[in-house]
Amino acid sequence: MNLVVDVGNSFVKLAVFNADKLQERRVVELKKLLEAIALLKTEFPLLKNAIISSVGHLNINQIENIKKGFKLLVLDANTKLPFINSYTTPQTLGVDRIGLVCASVKQFSSKNVLIIDAGTCITYDFITKENKYLGGAISPGLSMRYKSLNNLTAKLPLLELTVPENIIGNSTANSIHSGVVNGVINEVDGIIVQYKTKFSDLTVILTGGDAKFLSKQLKSSIFANSNFLLEGLNYILQLNSDE
């Protein structure tokens, strides 16, 4: 059995896999990570291999503690991957983006795939049906846009994510909701259209914390999968455990 540890900017996602099947998924605070892993080890005594994907602040002591109980793989740019990486700066490619691309290779082989991860940032990653990763784009996510309007202006308030009632905001709050939400929706739909213009047989995957919210608003046809990154990380661990 495999343990997947996905360390994000705010929380840590933990997943237990038996081969390709997701058995358990939990979200914990970083400070409670070791305690949560110890509990999973008790509940799933057959856990043996583990992978860490960290875009957050996991320190060396935490990594060394996890190593004591697992055969551990720490994902980085030098990890063996199941695709051709044509990114011109592979050392700067985020491990979360690597995991997402690997999930697409596993589930949608021989297809042109655009993966959209709607989280703190919105990332776009494209891999061709020839299994070549070309890159994509990074833009601010919904929460970041709300926070930027508040942080970088003198009087605009910080609001919670809300579906705008109208394209025309009749108050400052409604104007912010219209600008942020419609801006993101039109961005995502527009980028999908641009990709489909070049690749007519495009498969689009939407994942990340805001995927459920956005999937209800988008015009484009997509596959929504909130566990896509975890599945991709498990695939990388399987690939490297075979050695």
Distance CA 98, CA 83 (A): 10
Contacts 24+ apart (CB under 8 A), 42-50: 44/1, 44/16, 46/1, 47/1, 47/2, 47/3, 47/16, 48/1, 48/2, 49/1, 49/2, 49/3, 49/73, 49/237, 49/241, 50/2, 50/3, 50/4, 50/5, 50/237
Q: Which of 6, 20, 76, 96 is catalytic?
A: 96
Residues in a beta bridge with 127: 113, 133
Terminal CA-CA length for the chain: 16
The total of other beta-carbon atoms located within 10 Å of residue 6's CB is 24
Residues in a beta bridge with 54: 7
Distance CA 155, CA 170 (A): 17
Q: What is the DSSP string of 154-167?
A: SSPPP------S-S
201 is annotated as an active-site residue: no
CB 119, CB 142: distance < 8 Å = no
Pairing of strands 132-140, 121-127: antiparallel
CB 26, CB 14: distance < 8 Å = yes
Distance CA 8, CA 53 (A): 8
Q: Mind telling me the catalytic residues?
A: 96
